[in-house]
Amino acid sequence: MKKYDFLPIILGSDVNAYGMARSFHEQYGIKSYAIARQRLFTTDNSKIITVDVCDNFNHADIFIDKLISVAEELKSKAEKLILVASSDAYAELIIRNKSVLNKYYVIPFIDEDLMNDLIFKENFYKTCEKYNLDYPNTFICTIDNKDSIALPFEYPVVIKPSDSLLYFECSFEGKKKAYVVQTKEEFTDIINRIYSSAYNKNLIIQEYIPGDDTQMRVLNCYSGIDGKVKMMCLGRPLLEDYTPSLIGNYTAIINDYNVDIFDKYRRFLEDIGYVGFANFDMKYDIRDGKFKVFEINLRQGRSSYFVTGSGYNLAKYLVEDCIYNRSNELVLAKGEHLWLGVPKGIVLKYTEDDKLRNSARKLINEGKYSYTLQYKKDLNFKRLIKNFRYYFDYYGRYNKYFKKID
């Protein structure tokens, strides 16, 4: 039996996991192995990814035992096993357990100390101060000061958790991924509801940056094991998801190119010694002409297949660096491509910027677009039906939840 040079072990079963499996398959013709807490239609009935379901895989002891077991099982099939995370939770678990797992896997992730400076938003903003990265005006709300807050900026404001992983596990009435709040009364109600749940960490209160979805930018990067940035790809979202639990996820992205952003974030990543995939969300503030960063994810973004779809295969940069030890020069992605997470009709109806909507229409007419889940080499009848239902459902969601930004 042929022994592969490497085998991707992807943690998760969502659209991000499928996008990475597709990237590996497109570049190397290899079938990825995924481990996840549950099956999702995004990776089900697939020829390019095997999903191994493990109950309570988010618990550290089970996480470690399962990964060691899988490594022992697969070591005869590949020279190296490389870990890829499709969520923040899995990225954090990998990083916190590197000292055990690096005996079995190639682990292209940073160390725990640096992670703690980046994943908690108030720590990240302190790091931004140090490296002159612009971010929105911010106030930290705690469970102790929540009843006596005097915000240093006007409404509307944005409320979001500092500890996204803990917040994800909590439940309460009216829960959203983030909130745009218009009044003091609404602010107080939301704060009280959040803190009535199991969430007890800090909340980030930020001045709302005006502008619609097209003022956002998303930056995906890969930094090599030598600490040098190897690839940067900037996207300009046309639309975001308006489903309450998915607010902030992108549903359409067009390529962008900005040397100033590339230079600033390359210096940042290299100065802190970053390794692996990084994903930044930022928004252009028309009031002062600055791009203001919201967060960094220690993995490729949920919509990061837009990078591969643009001709810059994410898996290639990872494998060239970690498996074949090839030191490649920095690539700044250029291209004309439209990534879609919703039907084309939704993008053409709801994109608010006329020029960008026309650009999207042009790319669609020229066939320069892609859907993460619509892979010609992996479209059997079951996947076709489930994909159709998934995308079609967005017509109802946008009709129900979309709000035009004035």
Give residue 1's pLDDT band: very low, low, confident or very high (50, 70, 90).
low
pLDDT of residue 327: 82
Q: Domain range spanning residue 35? A: 4-107
pLDDT of residue 245: 81
Give residue 237's pLDDT band: very low, low, confident or very high (50, 70, 90).
very high
pLDDT of residue 168: 85
Express each pLDDT in 266-309 by its tens digit. Answer: 999 999 999 999 999 999 999 999 999 999 999 999 999 999 99
Contact partners, residue 390, CB within 8 Å, separation at least 6: 41, 373
75 plus 151 within the same structural domain: no
Rg (the chain; Cα; Å):
21
pLDDT of residue 247: 83
Give residue 159's pLDDT band: very low, low, confident or very high (50, 70, 90).
very high
H/E segment holding residue 27? helix 15-28
pLDDT of residue 244: 84
Give residue 177's pLDDT band: very low, low, confident or very high (50, 70, 90).
confident
242 plus 145 within the same structural domain: no
Contact partners, residue 97, CB within 8 Å, separation at least 6: 60, 63, 64
Give residue 169's pLDDT band: very low, low, confident or very high (50, 70, 90).
confident
Q: Is 2's pLDDT higher than 80?
A: no
Question: pTM of the predicted model, to two decimals?
Answer: 0.94
| CA dist list (Å): 44 to 69, 229, 277, 393 | 22, 34, 25, 19
Q: Is 335's pLDDT higher than 60?
A: yes
Q: What is the mean pLDDT of residues 312-333?
A: 96
162 plus 92 within the same structural domain: no
Domain boundary pick from 150, 172, 207:
207
73 plus 142 within the same structural domain: no
Compute the distance between CA of residue 223 and CA of residue 80 in angstroms, rounded to an integer.
20
Give residue 187's pLDDT band: very low, low, confident or very high (50, 70, 90).
very high
- Kindly report the CATH number assigned to the domain that includes residue 76: 3.40.50.720
Q: Is residue 249 part of a domain?
A: yes
Q: Is residue 301 part of a domain?
A: yes
Q: Is 217's pLDDT higher than 80?
A: yes
Dihedral angle computed from the Cα positions of residues 234, 21, 92 and 324, in that order, rounded to the nearest 10 degrees: -80
Amino acid at 308: T
Q: Is 246's pLDDT higher than 70?
A: yes
pLDDT of residue 164: 85
Compute the distance between CA of residue 392 and CA of residue 31 in angstroms, rounded to an integer.
28
Q: Is residue 298 part of a domain?
A: yes
Q: Is residue 129 part of a domain?
A: no
270 plus 379 within the same structural domain: yes
368 plus 254 within the same structural domain: yes
pLDDT of residue 398: 94
348 plus 280 within the same structural domain: yes
Q: Is residue 142 part of a domain?
A: yes
Q: Is 406's pLDDT higher than 70?
A: no
Express each pLDDT in 19-30 by its tens digit. Answer: 999 999 999 999
Q: Is 405's pLDDT higher than 70?
A: no
Compute the distance between CA of residue 310 and CA of residue 317 in angstroms, rounded to an integer.
14
Helix, strand, coil percentages in the chain from 3-state DSSP, rounded to 5: 40, 25, 35
pLDDT above 70 as % of the chain: 99
pLDDT of residue 146: 87
In the block, which residue shows the tokens 């969502």?
Answer: 14
Express each pLDDT in 94-110 by its tens digit. Answer: 999 999 999 999 999 99
348 plus 251 within the same structural domain: yes
Q: What is the mean pLDDT of residues 334-358?
A: 96
